[in-house]
Amino acid sequence: MELVKPGLGLIFWMTITFSIVLFILSKFAWKPILNSIREREDSINNALNAAEEARKQMSALKTDNEKLLNQARAERDQMLKDANDMKDNIIAQAKKSAEDEGRKIIEKASASIEAAKVNAMNELKTQVAVLTVDLAEKVLRKKMEDRAQQESFVNENLKSITLN
């Protein structure tokens, strides 16, 4: 039973010692230790947060870059398309104008050909007329060599002319 009877002396010393230990450790050990642990935790947390923030910024930057790249790509595509269209346009226009020009030239040429043909025809006609007249003169000269025949022809013609 001696075991469960608390001794007064021990209670006395224990109370004093424990109070002193509590005071000393609280003031000189736990306070600096807990403070520095907290500070370190805070700094670690801050560092982690900063890293997270940086990571977020990086990913934001990445998406931005992606967006920019896509935009640039789209723009390039658009430009290429525009250029293509323009080229097609130009080619088509050039073709059209060339065709027009060709047609005009052909028309002019055929017109001048027609004119030349008409001229040539006219000249031919004149030539033919001159030649015919010459030939007829020659034929007539041949035929009217004989005086008698001349007279008979004139007479005949005279007869056919009815005066009045």
Partner 1 sequence: MQSNNKKIFRYLIPVFLVLLYVGYNSASLFADESHTVDSLTETATVASHDAEHHETIGEMEHESAVEAEHKVDAGKLIMEHIGDAHDWHIATIGKSHISIPLPIIIKDNQGFKIFSSSRFHHGHEAYEGYKLEENKIVAVNEAGEINHEASFLDLSITKNVMSMFISVLFLCWLMLSVARHYTKNAGKAPKGIANLIETLIMFIRDEVAKPSIGPKYAKFLPYLLTIFFFIFINNLFGLIPFFPGGANVTGNIAVTMVLAVFTFVITSFNGNKSYWGHIFMPPGVPKALWILLVPIEIIGMLNKPIVLMIRLFANITAGHIIMLGFFSLIFIFGAMSETLGLGVSVLSVAFTVFMNFLELLVAFLQAYVFTLLSALYFGMAVEEHAHEEHH
49 contributes a contact to partner 1 by CB under 8 A: no
Distance CA 79, CA 62 (A): 25
Distance CA 49, CA 118 (A): 101
By CB under 8 A, how many residues form the interface with partner 1?
33
**How far is the CA of 42 from the CAs of 34, 37, 38, 125, in angstroms?**
12, 8, 6, 121
Choices 18-26, 93-101, 113-121, 142-150 (CB under 8 A): range interacting with partner 1: 18-26
Given the complex with partner 1, which of 13 and 140 has the nearer CB atom? 13
Choices 2-10, 71-79, 135-143, 145-153 (CB under 8 A): range interacting with partner 1: 2-10
Given the complex with partner 1, which of 34 and 120 has the nearer CB atom? 34
Name, in order, each residue with C-beta under 8 angstroms of 143's C-beta and a sequence gap of 6 or more. 149
62 contributes a contact to partner 1 by CB under 8 A: no
Choices 25-33, 91-99, 127-135, 156-164 (CB under 8 A): range interacting with partner 1: 25-33
Burial code (b: 16+ CB inside 10 Å, e: under 16) for 115-145 equals eeeeeeeeeeeeeeeeeeeeeeeeeeeeeee
Which chain residues interact with partner 1 by CB under 8 A? 2-15, 17-18, 21-22, 24-26, 28-34, 36-37, 39-40, 43
